[in-house]
Amino acid sequence: MNRLAIPKTYKLYIGGKFPRSESGRVYEVLSHKGDFLANAAKGSRKDARDAVVAARSALSGWAGATAYNRGQVLYRIAELLEGRRAQFVDEIVSSEGVTTAVANAQVDEAIDRWVWYAGWADKYVQVAGNANPVSGPFFNLSVPEPTGVVAIIAPQGSESLLGLVSAIAPALVAGNTVVVVANENAPLSAISLGEVLATSDVPGGVVNVVTGSPAEIAPWLASHADVNALDLVGAGDLDWVELQISAADTLKRVLPPESGADAAAPALQRILAFTELKTVWHTKAIL
Amino acid sequence: MKFLDYAPAPESQALLNLKSDYGLFINGEFTAGRGTPFQTINPATEQQIAMIATANETDVDDAVVAARHAYDGVWSRLSGSDRGKYLFRIARLVQERARELAVAETLDNGKPIKETRDVDIPLVAAWFFYYAGWADKLDHAGVGPNPASLGVAAQVIPWNFPLMMLAWKIAPALAAGNTVVLKPAETTSLTALLFAEILQQADLPAGVVNIITGDGSSGQALVNHAGVNKVAFTGSTSVGRAIARSVAGTDKRLSLELGGKGANIVFDDAPIDQAVEGIVRGIFFNQGHVCCAGSRLLVQESIHDDVIDRLKRRMQTLRLGDPLDKNTDIGAINSSEQLARIRELSELGQQEGAERWSADCVIPENGFWFAPTIFTNVTTSHRISRDEIFGPVLSVLTFRTPAEAVAKANNTPYGLSAGIWSDKGSRILAVADKLRAGVIWANTFNQFDPSSPFGGYKESGYGREGGRHGLAAYLKPAVRTGSRSIAAADHGASPVTKKSASASKKSASAEKAAK
């Protein structure tokens, strides 16, 4: 007789913990065939706000970590993802209806993106910064710094894990903290990724995952005054222009929706989109 | 005249050759505007200088069409080195006509001739000279190989540094291969129109730069015009917000350089006399009409009284009066509206319990003037330490520890500038790291250079002007090709616009249907 399996309870990932939605709501996650897979937490406005609070409190620690340290932590995520690939492949196969080979390729690419972005952590400042030859007795240096708390609407397309990783990894490189609204129809890999993050030396609150309806949650994040930037990469099916208008009230930095397999393709510009350039003029003594 | 008083030393206006009426500069020629002309006045005398045309929506459309034709037909096809040569020409012509431009700027804006002559106009020439050299080196701008220009740039600039803001906008836009429609501020259009004459002397192809004048509605029409690809705005945060809302959902690229409430932090080990000079430069330069002004003085408690005593003594020597006088330190407030705002916020400061002190100076009978003023006993909740006053008014707060200084400095929705005064290098570096501001001056203030990026954090806007980053603001990466995998990672994702987003909705639903 077969052993009876132990199904996982899929919850939110906020502040390094796995709470249920404060609203008590869940929604059914179905397989591509329409079979029941799990009850995912249906995140609320309050959950999103809690996630912003968690992201804000984690910011100074993560932004203040050395670039070498951030790089190692991001690489550690790749290591742990590699070790737990079977679980991700299973979830992708069941929820996206693809073959094991296709799911494996998606996990491969997701792991490789963590590695690629991990390597940028101690380099993007050199590539994007500048020493400026000003006309005067000054040592003048421009250096990019993290923008702050970044809210992300994860890609809602077919590759749930890859889309999520492609959106959150670049924001983390510079030292931003993240609140991400997961793929609504395929949220399982987002919650499982939270479990990887929780054991990858990523400090609690640096990444916060809210599952549920992007259409319901996104407006609260777009208008939240303690969110500094908004990545609408997966918001193409929402009323994203309204979200962008709302974000303008607090002059958030906004990335527009992208679509297709190329959405959130790995790029240095994705890292730099959520950085601020600081220029410091140091006065030289007269000898 | 008393001992050590200065005899009047007015700069001559003889080299000015102003017209009585100025039209719009569209497609290389001056044309009458279709709106009602308005007068531009000298804020130091309230006398009319000239009549300026108002661009209505049709005029704005003409200007954008001219810029588009020039972009498609000429400018985007020109080699980088030829674009650079035009910019070098412009830089030289500005240098040749520098004194004339300085006098005109002082006349129209009210700022001291000392500043237009030694700061504004030299920086205008420097800006064009700097970006001229970039025009044929765009591969090094930081957006990858073979970057593309954006198209037509709509640029709206403020009245505080009229010609300098024009240079900050036009020089990088042209170097990158864009064409321009620029709208100067209503009260300070004059030097932009003299600049248009310089463009004619430089034989810049018609339509590459178009200058339209008028009030806020002309600017709004320009920013909202469907034919522009880039919007660059410098001005108030409230207008910046409105612009950000209006370009939402379009593929227009946006740079915003908005307000500020800069903290000037003086530590107890600072060279006090130099710091006092820096405080004066930080808040009284250009009558405090500076978005990056050091309008909040954060002084360490132990040296507060000493610093304030020396600051007041120094302020008593500031000479307020005729902006054309070479000895004038404080010129006229640019407009009666601005003067009313400064007065209103200053009165509010008194009502809220801060202690007001103004330098004792004679206010001329005509024109708009405000004596250099400081408020002590200011707290972080006072309006005068939160709102941008944009005038010669300084709010003084104190702190005990560097951590408190940083917390107070960052306690603002703005994040444009900050100053640090200390003799200790390690402290300067640590504090500069913690300040959330785009430009930080250590033991100096209000320095500008074309090679140095300028722009804000938070609600002070986004995008940078100056330096390599200021150039990149007018470029986009070459079109992506190849695979999505990390092996193909290059410099740019191609974001979708509203139009292609709806197309993508279709493809997304097609994808779902296929499943």
Give the pLDDT score at A261: 81
User: Which CATH topology does A26-283 take?
Assistant: Aldehyde Dehydrogenase; Chain A, domain 1 (3.40.605)
Alpha-carbon gap, residue B504 to B499, rounded angstroms: 9
> CA–CA distance from B261 to each of B168, B237, B431 (Å)?
21, 12, 17
Burial class for B120, CB neighbours closer than 10 Å (0-12, 13-18, 19+): buried
The rounded distance, in Å, linking the Cα atoms of A28 and A179 is 22
Q: How confident is the model at residue A154 (pLDDT cuts 50, 70, 90)?
A: very high
B-contacting residues in A 195-224 (Cβ below 8 Å)? none
Reply yes or no on whether B465 is catalytic. no
Question: So where are chain A's domains?
Answer: 26-283
Q: What is the pLDDT of residue B226?
A: 98
Interface residue B421 vs chain A (CB under 8 A) = no
Kindly give, in sequence order, each residue whose CB lies less than 8 Å from that of residue B217, ignoring residues fewer than 6 positions away: none
Q: Which residues on B lie below 8 Å from A134 (Cβ)? A: 447, 449, 451-452
Burial of A151 (0-12, 13-18, 19+ CB in 10 A): buried
pLDDT at B485: 58
Question: From its phi and psi, is residue A20 left (phi > 0), alpha (psi between -120 and 50) or beta?
Answer: beta
H-only helix segments in B352-412 = 402-410
Q: Does A278 touch chain B (CB under 8 A)?
A: yes
Give the distance from residue A64's alpha carbon to the nearest chain B alpha carbon, in angstroms. Answer: 10
- The reply to whether residue B248 touches residue A241, judged by beta carbons under 8 angstroms, is yes
Give Cβ neighbours of residue B502 (< 8 Å, ≥ 6 apart).
none
- Residue A287 is predicted with a pLDDT of 87
CA distance B407 to B397: 12
Buried b / exposed e across B135-145, counting CB within 10 Å, b at 16+?
Answer: beebeebbbbe
Residue type at A7? P
Contact: B485, A251; criterion CB under 8 Å: no
Residue B188 CA, chain-centre distance (Å), reads: 13
Q: Chain B: residue nearest A238 by CA?
A: B505
Sheet with strand A177-181: strands edge to edge = A207-210, A177-181, A149-153, A229-231, A253-255
How large is the average pLDDT for residues A186-212? Answer: 97
Task: Check B464 against A133: CB less than 8 A apart.
Answer: no
A241 touches chain B (CB under 8 A): yes
The β-bridge relationship of strands B439-442 and B38-42 is: unpaired
Tell if the CB–CB gap between A265 and B454 is shorter than 8 Å: no
Pair A96, A158: CB distance under 8 Å: yes
pLDDT of residue B493: 40
Query: Taking a C-beta distance cutoff of 8 angstroms, is the pair B493, A259 a contact?
Result: no
Tell me which residues of chain A, numbers 162 to 201, contact chain B at a CB-CB cutoff of 8 Å: none
**pLDDT at position B486, please?**
56
Q: Taking CA atoms, what residue in A is nearest to B141?
A: A128
DSSP secondary structure letters along B402-424: HHHHHHHHH-SS--SEEEEE-S-
Instruction: Please report, for residues A76, A164, A193, B435, B456, the alpha-carbon distance to residue A188 in angstroms, rounded to integers and kept in the order given.
Output: 21, 11, 8, 40, 39
Annotated active-site residue B361? The verdict is: no
CB B166 within 8 A of CB B183: no
Helix (H, G, I), strand (E, B) or coil at B461: strand
Q: How far apart are the first and last CA of chain A?
A: 88
What token pair was written down for B362?
């004679």
Residues B458, A147: Cα–Cα separation, whole Å? 8
- CA torsion B285→B287→B291→B292, rounded to 10°? 30
Q: Which domains does chain B have, with CATH numbers?
A: 25-258+465-471 (3.40.605.10), 263-451 (3.40.309.10)
Which of A10, A9, A74, A18 minimizes the C-alpha distance to A50? A18
- Kindly state the percentage of chain A with pLDDT values over 90: 95
Residue A267 has pLDDT above 50, yes or no: yes
B245 near B391, Cβ under 8 Å?
no
CA–CA gap between residue B194 and residue B494 (Å, rounded): 40
Per the listing, tokens 């444009």 go with: B416
Percent of chain A with pLDDT over 70: 100
Could you please report the per-residue DSSP string of A115-148? HHHHHHTTTHHHHH-EE---SSSEEEEEEEEE-S
Q: Where are the alpha helices (DSSP H) in B97-215?
A: 98-109, 113-115, 121-134, 162-175, 190-201
- Find where tokens 């705002």 sit: B341
What pLDDT tens digit does each residue of chain B (515 aa) get? Answer: 677 778 999 999 999 999 999 999 999 999 999 999 999 999 999 999 999 999 999 999 999 999 999 999 999 999 999 999 999 999 999 999 999 999 999 999 999 999 999 999 999 999 999 999 999 999 999 999 999 999 999 999 999 999 999 999 999 999 999 999 999 999 999 999 999 999 999 999 999 999 999 999 999 999 999 999 999 999 999 999 999 999 999 999 999 999 999 999 999 999 999 999 999 999 999 999 999 999 999 999 999 999 999 999 999 999 999 999 999 999 999 999 999 999 999 999 999 999 999 999 999 999 999 999 999 999 999 999 999 999 999 999 999 999 999 999 999 999 999 999 999 999 999 999 999 999 999 999 999 999 999 999 999 999 999 999 999 999 999 976 545 555 555 444 444 444 444 434 333 333 333 33
Q: Quick one: DSSP state of residue B144?
A: -
Q: How far is CA B157 from CA A3, B189, B232, B454, in A?
A: 73, 10, 8, 15
Q: Quick check: A97 contacting B, CB < 8 Å?
A: yes
Burial class (CB in 10 A: 0-12, 13-18, 19+), A185: middle
Partner A contacted by B414 (CB < 8 A): no
- Residue B417 bridge partners (DSSP): B439
CA–CA distance, B116 with A190 (Å, rounded to integer)? 58
Q: At what angle do helices A160-173 and A67-83 cross, to 10 degrees?
A: 160
Query: Using CA atoms, how far apart are residues B374 and B294, in angstroms rounded to an integer?
Result: 12
Residue-wise burial string across A112-127, b where 16 or more C-beta atoms lie within 10 A, e elsewhere: bbbbbbbebbbebbee
Using CA atoms, how far residue A23 sits from A26, A154, B413, in Å, is 9, 22, 32
Give the predicted TM-score (pTM) of the model.
0.94
What's the token pair of residue B46? Answer: 């309230």
Residues of A in contact with B430 (CB under 8 A): none
Structure tokens at B479: 């079109």
Amino acid identity, residue A196?
V
Looking at chain A, list the stretches that DSSP marks H as alpha helix, in order from N- to C-terminal side: 45-64, 67-83, 85-96, 100-120, 124-128, 160-173, 188-198, 214-223, 240-248, 268-272
Q: At what angle do helices A85-96 and A188-198 cross, to 10 degrees?
A: 170
